[in-house]
Amino acid sequence: MSEPIDLLIEAKWIIPVEPAGIVLENHAVAVDRGRIVAILQQSEGKFRFAPRQVTQLHDHLLIPGLVNLHTHAAMALLRGLADDLPLDVWLREHIWPAEAKHVSPQFVYDGALLAGAEMLRGGVTCFNDMYFFPQATAKAAQALGIRAVIGLIVTDFPTAYAADADDYLAKGLAIRDQFRDSPLLGFCLAPHAPYTVSDRGFEKVLTLAEQCAIPLHLHIHETRKEIEDSLKLFGMRPIERLRRLGVLGPGLVGAHAVHLEDHEMQLLARHGCSVAHCPGSNLKLASGIAPVVQMLRRGVNVGLGTDGAASNNRLDILQEMRLASILAKGSSGQAEAVDAHRALRMATLDGARALGLDGEIGSIEAGKSADLCAIKTDDSSLAPCYDPSSLLAYSAGREHVSDVWVAGKACVSDGALLCYRTIELKNLATLWQNRIRS
């Protein structure tokens, strides 16, 4: 007798990510109660299972849902506000003043809603965030049905959200308690950066991280100026300061990590740290090109992030995959560096591993959550297809994403977001644009 299940997804190709380098043809993924039950030949699936729903993707490539390892979701409302400026000028003269005037729980909720919708339609099923009023981001993620790791931000500077490091931490822990039972939400402590958090602030963060057993998420070595300032103020580079404070460890996700010396890469690898590589944002802000090939060789776990839409303009992990691969090739002079399968792994399983979620998401394996993304491949701009992994890494774009599931629930179908209408989100963005422009 056939086993009843909720959903059977039949696809022309499946790239499960694990085992590595494999492409399955004419296979199916069986899903029940939000979890993957089996990956098997389509012919076998028809006999073994009695699905309540069958989704046939005869011209599609099925991959794990993408993981955006570093973003500031609410900053989607600041997209394009002050382009073509160096990071320090961009932040201090434009972004920070705009945030001081406009950031509120409503701003964050609406911005995160806009960003989450963009990410879902681009195949992202999980994002790792860092921003003010994180409870608003959590509520937006719940409304969309997207998986999120909510950063409980900490900085020494007062904002509309909190007064000082103690206040940030107290509010962050209260938010974690509020959403503790939400199955798609996780949390990390997010000390903004070494240049905005004091030694005392880091000590408090570390104490809480150990007590709560949650990861850390912060910016590291994004610009040369950040390193020069650290040498003047502390007599050492930021990573060395973090090492002495005890911040480096397997729960650390360092965003950007553009300017690294060899011994610093070895430090990150030795302590089991992960890096959120954000090639698009790094290039747009002229921060530089992260030494990804060298990091990978030394054993650093590297995932992919977009940064916020204010500095990247797109929350598009498929584009970051392509950039990560071709930048690695160009900067190393090695065409085989970061091949198509490795780029996909960075965008999925390696990002999940950085967040401690690799047992739950990041690959298509029995027992894992059914966080999945389907890419439609019948567009003439993708033809011919000699290798589905190559098509994914170098040709496909987010416009080719057709269907997305999070924990087995459909969030995008035939390219359309299921929980919100596009016109509603556009009107929301226009409303905030008018307020900020004025």
Do 93 and 60 share a structural domain? no
pTM for this model (two decimals) = 0.98
- Total domains, the chain: 2
Per-residue pLDDT tens digits for 42-75? 999 989 999 999 999 999 999 999 999 999 999 9
Per-residue pLDDT tens digits for 398-429? 999 999 999 999 999 999 999 988 889 999 99
Per-residue pLDDT tens digits for 291-313? 999 999 999 999 999 999 999 99
Q: The domain spanning residue 126 has which CATH number?
A: 3.20.20.140
Per-residue pLDDT tens digits for 313-369? 999 999 999 999 999 999 999 999 999 999 999 999 999 999 999 999 999 999 999
Do 168 and 31 share a structural domain? no
> Contacts by 298-302 with C-beta closer than 8 Å and gap 24+?
298/265, 298/266, 298/268, 298/269, 299/269, 300/265, 300/268, 300/269, 300/273, 300/274, 300/275, 301/272, 301/273, 301/274, 301/275, 301/350, 301/353, 301/354, 302/274, 302/275, 302/277, 302/346, 302/350
Do 304 and 263 share a structural domain? yes
Q: Assess if residue 313 is contained within a domain.
A: yes
**Domain span at 40:** 3-64+371-407
The residue-averaged pLDDT of 225-235 equals 97
The residue-averaged pLDDT of 23-28 equals 98
Q: Assess if residue 253 is contained within a domain.
A: yes
Do 381 and 338 share a structural domain? no
Q: Assess if residue 416 is contained within a domain.
A: no
Chain centroid to Cα 41, Å, comes to 31
Q: Assess if residue 414 is contained within a domain.
A: no
Q: Quick one: tokens of 7?
A: 């959903």
* 438 pLDDT above the threshold of 90: no
What is the pLDDT confidence band of residue 384, given thresholds at 50, 70 and 90? very high
Do 231 and 96 share a structural domain? yes
Do 81 and 213 share a structural domain? yes
Label residue 286 exposed, middle or buried (CB < 10 Å: 0-12, 13-18, 19+).
exposed
Residue 418: predicted pLDDT: 96
Do 173 and 45 share a structural domain? no
* 1 pLDDT above the threshold of 80: no
